[in-house]
Structure 1
Amino acid sequence: MSKVPRVAFFPDSYEEVDGVAMTSKRLVGYAKKNGNPLLVIHAGKKTEFIEDGSISHLSLKRSPVAFPMDATLEYDPFFQRHTNRVIKALMKFKPDVFHITGLNDVSIMGSYLAWKLDLPMVGSWHTNLHEFAGRRLDKTFRFLPESISAKFIGFAERKILDGALLYYKMPKLLLAPNEELINILKKGTKRDARLMIRGVDTEIFSPQKRTVSDGKIRFGFVGRLRAEKNVRLLADLEKAILDAGKTNFEFLIVGDGNERDWLERKMKKAVFTGFIEGEKLAETYANMDIFIFPSETDAFGNVVQEANASGAPAIVANSGGPKFIVEHGKTGFVCDTVDQYAKYSLELMDNREKLLRMKEASREFALSRSWDSVFESVYQAYADCVKLRKEDRKKSSPI
């Protein structure tokens, strides 16, 4: 790259608590550290413009009619009222390329303005909306016979995915966190799609922050306690371990959501911390021996790498992004059924030497995941997107 592109970044989540917000803030931190000009346009508690070195922030307050999409994420049907304010900021900043992250109000505005201003756009895929919707519909329609609900949910998932792929035809170049999604995007949009994994901070998340040494095995989960995370499996797993005669264990469950009450009623050996962050979160990760992540809808699974960095091997679902992080039998296990989660959990409880080897391998793997290398490839994608647009214009211009 001879010239670092000027990027207008429209993240769906920024001040919220989720993986998209965390990755977005990491990208902003990388740009600031390297002096790269970046305009970040995001939803916030108030409307204000702030300049911080090479970074410009335009925070936009949502209207009172905004409705919740998730525990912390909202959608404002009147977000477009900020359009003129955003155009003024863009005219002053003069971006070379736009970057959107999804299908929420902020990114939809970014897509529209990229089209209006005739500027190239990169789109990154962070959330499997179709699978999220499927999980929530499954919970809603539990009263129906499975044969009927499965057909309806499958139809809804396909239509939501079709809509998302139609939207992702707008960007010139796409980024996705695993090869499975890259193939879906390439096939569904006919666009260039590239890998954008996630990094992990191995100084913040470290086994050295462990504070317990009582010999008790601690299983862990970090994330939203909602249907799409498949968290009820945690209760099933606890029951299976108890049925096997094990008692010297507990679950550390970090996060909140509408499934928490159900889990608290069902689980006998679980500690619920609610939402925590910073050093408290790092310490809790380090106190985990085995990380359980049953979500089948996550596009990547940042928390799996954070657990690995903290020295905990992960047992994950054989669906979604986390299965691409785990090396089966070395840094964790990949499962299809509750019985398999129980089998591998009991295996590690009974074989402490194997558990120690997998802890060390998990930490070693996490040390290889640098945020700098992730964002170097993202900036290369920005530069390539700008280049592709210039080539397209040359082809379409009269001779």
Structure 2
Amino acid sequence: MPPRIPRVAFFPDSFHEVNGVAHTARQFTAWAGRTDRPFLCVRAGDCSTPQLDTSSHGQLEVLELPRGPASFALDKDLRYDPLFPRHGATILRALKRFQPDVIHITGPSELGMLGAALAHHLGVPLAASWHTNVHEYAARRSTWATRVLPMRRQAGAARAIERTALGAAALFYRSARLLFAPNPALCALLEARTGRPCRLMTRGIDARLFSPDRRTAPPATPGQGFTLGYVGRLSVEKNVALLGTVARELAGRAQQNRQVPVRFLIVGQGSEEASLRATLPGAHFAGVLRGEALAAAFADMDCFLFPSHTDTFGNVVLEALASGVPAVVTPDGGPAHIVTASDGAGLIATDAAFASSVADLLNRWSLDPAMHASMRARARAYAATASWDAVFSGVYQAYDEVLFHATNASGGPR
């Protein structure tokens, strides 16, 4: 007799927004629909009243709830509603009707906290994904406050904020029976801080959408130069100021006739856009792109720069590699794991060495175009192996091994 497929109630922090958490949430929900699994997605949306959609999706159900006037922006595309618990009774009714075997949250947002509370109330096992290094975000977002301190104390204050935020996040995640994280280092950290089992939940890629075949620009040549690209939120925690450092390094070398021409293509929006426009005066700012327009932008790049230290995975790095674009990333977080696994499809460089590493790489490409072509081929080959089906099948396997196998062994299901 085949094993029973668990009924999953999924509470993503974000769904419609343009970020890695939302992208993964959309893919997970779509996969559950394609594979006809009993799946309830509880999410925030732009609707004016709560909307439950149980039709035309097989066993997939969606409960979309509005954020209210008390909500405020965390960034241009991300909001938080402190009064979201007003929807608690509506969600509770939906959960009692759906009868989930597991509630899966994606972080300490208003949705995540409500999902965790309802799991406890109903006695349903809780799974939690760690998608965002909230402690590092907190430290970087607090610079407006630490700036008033003497310079010698600012770094210490930032570290204290990061430690406090990590402790609070670990306490929250300890309420779950099963954790997921997108890279091995985070899995080890979470297991050590929470005492809970943590399974790897990486990311997949649509290799048909993100492809070198989408390129509309002519092939890069030493004479025409290279297009350097960035895709993501233009915000402090993404460390985008480092792109300006790259531009200054390249400009300085160009004055000495030691650098090939470059262009910057910036995709995204955020609070640092004005500052970036000042430091990248010749750059093309494309704004937020989706679908085929985004895929074409990736394919038109020759090198992808991702200076973030806070990304737990780095969906955009995988999308760049799938588009045949080598990437330069920092040593921290998920992007470094991707580049390391890609077998020569990019570089890892510290902030201090980032700009010179990019400049040196471009010069090597100009002298040896075959090196650029080889890195492009390696990038595509690695990314083409990343499958959403494998990622989400692994999630369900972890549900069974950690949540239900242990429950059944101790006397049957709840």
Task: Please give the range of the TM-score, normalised by the shorter of the 2 chains.
Answer: over 0.9
- 1:364 maps to 2:381: yes
The aligned residue for residue 314 of structure 1 is 327
2:160 corresponds to 1:159:
no
Answering whether residue 401 of structure 2 is matched by residue 384 of structure 1, we say: yes
Residue 229 of structure 1: aligned partner: 238
Q: How does 1:21-60 map to 2 (within 5 A)?
A: 21-46=22-47, 47-51=50-54, 52-60=57-65
| Unaligned ranges ≥5, structure 1 | none
Moved more, 385-394 or 160-169: 385-394
Contact 1:68 1:74 in 2 (8 A): yes
1:129 — aligned with what? Answer: 134
Q: Is contact 2:40–2:63 with CA below 8 Å preserved after alignment? A: yes
Deviates more, 1:307-316 or 1:331-340: 331-340
Distance 1:370 1:235, change over 3 A: same
Q: What are the within-5 Å matches in structure 2 for residues 281-300 of structure 1?
A: 281-300=294-313
CA distance in 2, matches of 1:392, 1:111: 24
Output aligned runs, 1:10-159, within 5 Å: 10-46=11-47, 47-51=50-54, 52-138=57-143, 140-142=145-147, 144-159=149-164
- SS for the counterpart of 1:36 is coil
Q: Give the conservation status (yes or no) of the 8 Å contact 2:249–2:359.
A: no
Q: Which amino acid aligns with 2:261?
A: N
State the Cα distance separating 1:388 from its structure 2 match. 5.0
392 and 73 in structure 1: CA distance in 2 versus 1, 3 angstrom threshold? farther
Partner of 2:178: 173
Is contact 2:6–2:101 with CA below 8 Å preserved after alignment?
yes
1:231-380 alignment to 2 at 5 Å? 231-245=240-254, 246=259, 248-327=261-340, 330-351=344-365, 352-380=369-397
For the 8 Å contact 1:217–1:349, the answer to whether it is kept is: no
For the 8 Å contact 2:75–2:271, the answer to whether it is kept is: no
Tell me the distance in 2 between the aligned counterparts of 1:55 and 1:178.
Answer: 28
CA distance in 2: counterparts of 1:182 and 1:95, whole angstroms: 26
Q: Residue deviations 1:153-197, cap 9 Å, x none?
A: 100100000000000011111110011111111001101111111
Change (3 A) 1:391 1:169: farther
Per-residue CA deviation, residues 306-331 of structure 1 (Å, 9 max, x unaligned), is: 00000001100011111000028701
Number of corresponding residues: 396
* CA shift for structure 1 position 393: 5.6
Q: Structure 1 residues 303, 90: closer, same or farther in 2, change over 3 A?
A: same
Q: Would the alpha carbon gap of residues 355 and 175 (structure 1) be closer, same or farther in structure 2, given more than 3 Å must change?
A: same
The runs of at least 4 consecutive aligned structure 1 residues that moved more than 6 Å come to none
Question: How far 1:381 sits from its partner (Å)?
Answer: 1.7
Q: Secondary structure of 2:328's partner?
A: strand
Give the 3-state SS of the residue equivalent to 2:103 in structure 1.
strand
**Contact 1:139–1:227 (CA under 8 A) maintained in structure 2:** no
CA-to-partner distance for each residue in 1:189-219, whole Å, 9 max, x for gaps? 1011111110111100000010111633001
Q: Give, in angstroms, the shift of residue 269 of structure 1.
A: 3.0
> Normalization by structure 2: what TM-score?
0.92
- Measured after TM superposition, the shift of residue 348 of structure 1 is 3.3
Deviates more, 1:347-356 or 1:122-131: 347-356
Q: What is the CA distance between 1:88 and its match in structure 2? A: 1.0
SS of structure 1 residue aligned to 2:53: strand
C-alpha contact (below 8 Å) 1:233/1:338 kept by paired residues:
no
Task: Tell me, in whole angstroms, the C-alpha distance in 1 between the residues paired with 2:147 and 2:243.
Answer: 19
Question: Retained in 2: the 8 A contact 1:241–1:346?
Answer: no
Q: Structure 1: which amino acid aligns with 2:203?
A: R
Change (3 A) 1:329 1:202: closer
Residues in 2 aligned to 1:150 and 1:364: alpha-carbon distance in whole angstroms: 41
Decide whether the 8 Å contact of 1:97 with 1:385 is kept in 2. Answer: no
2:339 alignment partner, SS class: coil
| Counterpart residue type for residue 316 of structure 1 | V
Q: Structure 1, residues 369-391: CA drift from partner, whole Å, max 9, x if none?
A: 01100000011122234315625
C-alpha contact (below 8 Å) 2:231/2:267 kept by paired residues:
yes
- Which AA in structure 1 matches 2:18? V
In structure 2, C-alpha distance between the alignment counterparts of 1:56 and 1:131, rounded to whole Å: 34
Q: CA deviation at 1:251?
A: 0.8
Structure 1 Cα separation of the partners of residues 345 and 380 of structure 2: 9
Q: Which residue of 1 aligns with 2:226?
A: 217
CA drift of 1:249 comes to: 1.2
Amino acid at match of 2:151: E
Unpaired segments ≥5 residues, structure 2: none
CA distance in 1, matches of 2:238, 2:51: 34
3-state secondary structure, aligned to 2:228 = strand
Sort the Cα spacing of 1:252 and 1:338 in 2 relative to 1 into closer, same or farther, 3 A.
farther
Q: Is the 8 A contact 1:133 1:157 kept in 2?
A: yes
Give the drift of 1:139. 5.2
